[in-house]
A and B are shown apart, each in its own frame.
Chain A
Amino acid sequence: MTLATLGEQEYPPDDATPATWSSAGQPRLPEHAAPLPRLLAGLAEGRSRSAGLEAHERRFGPLPLPEDAWVDATGWNLGESGRHRRGRRSRAHQARSARRAATRLIDVAERSGLTGRGGAGFPTGRKLRSVAEGSGPTVVVANGAEGEPASRKDRVLLTRAPHLVLDGITLAAFAVGATRAYLAVHDELRLVAGLEATIAARSVAGIDPVPIEVVGIEPRYTASEQTSIVQYLNGGPALPTFTPPRTHERGVAGRPTAVNNVETLAHLALIARYGDRWFRQAGLPASPGTALVTVSGDVAFPAVYEIELGTPVGDAVNRAGGPTERPRAVLMGGYFGTWLPAGLAWPAPMSHPGLREVGAAMGAGILIVLGESSCGLAETARVLRYLADEGAGQCGPCIFGLPALADAMAELAFGGDPTAARRVAGLVRLVEGRGACRHPDGAASLASSAISAFAPDVRWHAGRGACHGVRRPPVLPVPSDLEYW
């Protein structure tokens, strides 16, 4: 097995600028001196297909794992006892140095300020540390099963830069000493087969000591929730479970399990190479780095863009070619998210604290622009119906409350029922925080933010019924074989 060598002193190269990194005999990476793009560096050259392993290593350098990190077929060389003891004394020495390297990798991840890019924004270093400190063997799960219909970032990464994600999985497995690693994606033949082929190519090159297993998850909204994936890997249905226990305490096979979004792991792959200072060269001190955002709706070029955290929402929209008509509102964070009036959203910095200040959340970096000719209430009603149908069907308040919420919003948008807005507000309070997972909370946030962001429309609809905007083709995508009016 040939693992990329990286002298222990330089691992991880936290204070190495790209220049000193290349002088150490590594491939030159001039493009990394510029802050952007990072994860999508391979795409900037107009590459239309997934980067091959060779191109990936030429661009980013080899995977920075210490050579003695892995003991063939037995596990990471991190333990002091048991199976490693039969070797020579140097084995124990190697184990100590590998363990130190793993700890330093977590240190660098922590110092980088990287936070989870799946939506919750939990500090990645802290998550890895708590799993690493758990007892016994651990498990790493990469979550690429993006359930948000308006998000494409995970798919873009998995199809255009899969090696960054796979590097990140292996690095996370090394950091926490995991002996099992999974990559959860939508259960689509081409996606799964493509990733399996990529993993096979890496295994021929001997890159990933822990075999990475691709797991197809049904593309339902709540199936991509982390407890759903863990329950599925444990042989159960892909449905959310009651917490605690949290997955980092007891996850797959009852072991401490680190579930990370695939974008988070791709960032980790770069942080391990270029260090935390490099990572912080982009973004804000409190929200460092870059993030992938999916910009869609009434914009000229809906697509996935890599932005520095802290970029104003308006700039992100302009990256997508700008609005195609006068923008009315922005849906931030996807269907778990928050409607913001365009004027409030435009200057807001895209970061967890920046958006929290205006009452929204970053979510998984989803940004949907709604133009003036659309009806925000009708759009919300359709999405609420979709969310009601997509519930896991486990918790009463969600089973009964979400359809009632969707009904009330529909009566407001299409029927002009003057009492509907009040019923929406009442149902929001009834479902919020009452599920095992946060699905009802997401629907509640969407509904209540629609009532306040579209307040003038609420008054109009209450008095006169449906506006002409309800006849416009829907802007928010709802993946379904059903007709949602």
Chain B
Amino acid sequence: MSLRLRVNMIKCTGHGLCAELMPEFIGLDPWGYPIVPRADVPEDLADLAPRAVSDCPTLALLLDRGDRD
């Protein structure tokens, strides 16, 4: 099972909580918006991904689960 994170950039206002929670995976650009790799979330961060999604104040972070790609 693979986990992927996506950002709805229209909703995102750059709180940066996701990057604070998973700094190993999510970076921030100079304006404070998250840079989310288009790759599977590493297994050791798998527990944090759903938390980042639910903690996002604007509900802009999405988690795709699946075996696709």
* Least CB separation from A242: chain B residue: B8
Task: Say whether A396 contacts B8, CB under 8 Å.
Answer: no
Residues of B within 8 A of A433 (CB): 38
User: A85 to nearest B CB, angstroms?
Assistant: 41
Is A56 at the interface (CB under 8 A from chain B)?
A: no
Is B50 at the interface (CB under 8 A from chain A)?
A: no
Residues of chain B from 7 to 25 with CB closer than 8 A to chain A in the complex: 8-14
Interface string of A279-291 (1 = CB under 8 A from B): 0000000000000
Cα–Cα, bound, A242→B33 (Å):
16
Residues of B within 8 A of A395 (CB): 9-10, 12
Task: Say whether B12 contacts A396, CB under 8 Å.
Answer: yes
Is B32 at the interface (CB under 8 A from chain A)?
A: yes
Cα–Cα, bound, A86→B29 (Å):
63
* Least CB separation from B11: chain A residue: A242
Is B66 at the interface (CB under 8 A from chain A)?
A: no
Residues of A within 8 A of B33 (CB): 396-397, 434
Residues of A within 8 A of B10 (CB): 241-242, 394-395, 436
Cα–Cα, bound, A434→B12 (Å):
11
User: A441 to nearest B CB, angstroms?
Assistant: 12
Cα–Cα, bound, A395→B31 (Å):
11
Interface string of B17-46 (1 = CB under 8 A from A): 000000000000111110100100000000
Task: Say whether B29 contacts A430, CB under 8 Å.
Answer: yes
Task: Say whether A435 contacts B29, CB under 8 Å.
Answer: no
Task: Say whether A434 contacts B31, CB under 8 Å.
Answer: no
Residues of A within 8 A of B35 (CB): 430, 434
Task: Say whether A435 contacts B30, CB under 8 Å.
Answer: no
Interface string of A182-206 (1 = CB under 8 A from B): 0000000000000000000000000
* Least CB separation from A398: chain B residue: B9
The prevalent SS among residues of B at the interface is loop
Interface string of A391-406 (1 = CB under 8 A from B): 0001111111100000
Task: Say whether B31 contacts A394, CB under 8 Å.
Answer: no
Residues of A within 8 A of B8 (CB): 242, 436
Cα–Cα, bound, A396→B32 (Å):
8
Cα–Cα, bound, A396→B12 (Å):
8
User: B19 to nearest A CB, angstroms?
Assistant: 13
Cα–Cα, bound, A435→B32 (Å):
14
User: B13 to nearest A CB, angstroms?
Assistant: 7
Pick the residue among B11, B13, B14, B31 that contacts A401 (CB under 8 A): B31
User: A443 to nearest B CB, angstroms?
Assistant: 15
* Least CB separation from B9: chain A residue: A395
Residues of chain B from 37 to 68 with CB closer than 8 A to chain A in the complex: 38
Task: Say whether B30 contacts A434, CB under 8 Å.
Answer: no
Task: Say whether A396 contacts B31, CB under 8 Å.
Answer: yes
Cα–Cα, bound, A435→B8 (Å):
8
Cα–Cα, bound, A313→B22 (Å):
49
Task: Say whether A396 contacts B13, CB under 8 Å.
Answer: yes
Residues of B within 8 A of A241 (CB): 10
Residues of B within 8 A of A400 (CB): 30-31
Residues of B within 8 A of A398 (CB): 9
Interface string of A416-445 (1 = CB under 8 A from B): 000000000000001001111000000000
Residues of A within 8 A of B32 (CB): 396
User: A426 to nearest B CB, angstroms?
Assistant: 10
Residues of B within 8 A of A434 (CB): 9, 29, 33, 35
Residues of B within 8 A of A396 (CB): 9, 12-14, 29, 31-33
Pick the residue among A242, A397, A435, A436 that contacts B31 (CB under 8 A): A397
* Least CB separation from B29: chain A residue: A430
* Least CB separation from B32: chain A residue: A396
Cα–Cα, bound, A436→B31 (Å):
17
User: A291 to nearest B CB, angstroms?
Assistant: 32
User: A214 to nearest B CB, angstroms?
Assistant: 28
Residues of B within 8 A of A401 (CB): 29, 31
3 nearest A-B pairs in the assembled complex, by CB-CB distance: A395-B9, A396-B33, A400-B31
17 chain-A/chain-B pairs, Cβ below 8 angstroms: A242-B9, A394-B9, A394-B10, A395-B9, A395-B12, A396-B12, A396-B13, A396-B31, A396-B32, A397-B9, A397-B33, A399-B31, A400-B30, A401-B31, A430-B29, A433-B38, A434-B9
Interface residues of A (CB under 8 A from B): 241-242, 394-401, 430, 433-436
Apart from the given pairs A397-B9, A401-B31, 4 other A-B contacts in the complex at a CB distance below 8 Å: A242-B11, A396-B14, A397-B31, A436-B10
